[in-house]
Amino acid sequence: MENRNYRGRISVNPQIHFGKPCVAGTRMPVVDVLELVREGISFKMILSDYFPDLQEDDIRACIHYAIDVVKVEDIHISE
């Protein structure tokens, strides 16, 4: 994975959420943050209404992490 802007902000622990990536030091799955971003919810609203314990850089780290995961993913299309 190329973009390491999320290093230290995203963690994977088999004991938390079955090993799904989470914001480090929390039990907040990356996917939950990404779903809010996908819905067009502003970073400010995500932080105030959904995840007040996060920082804006945590949201950015989730996005960078997802981009890097997709970059290395092999996609197989069957006809």
Contact 49/61 with Cβ under 8 angstroms? no
| CATH number among 3.50.30.30, 1.10.3720.10, 3.40.50.300, 1.10.10.10, domain 10-70 | 1.10.10.10
Q: Which of 41, 7, 13, 45 is nearest to 26 (CA)?
A: 13
Mean pLDDT of 66-73: 89
pLDDT digits (tens, 9 = 90+) for 7-51: 789 999 999 999 999 999 999 999 999 999 999 999 999 999 999
Domain residues of the chain, as ranges? 10-70
> What is the value of pTM for the model shown?
0.84
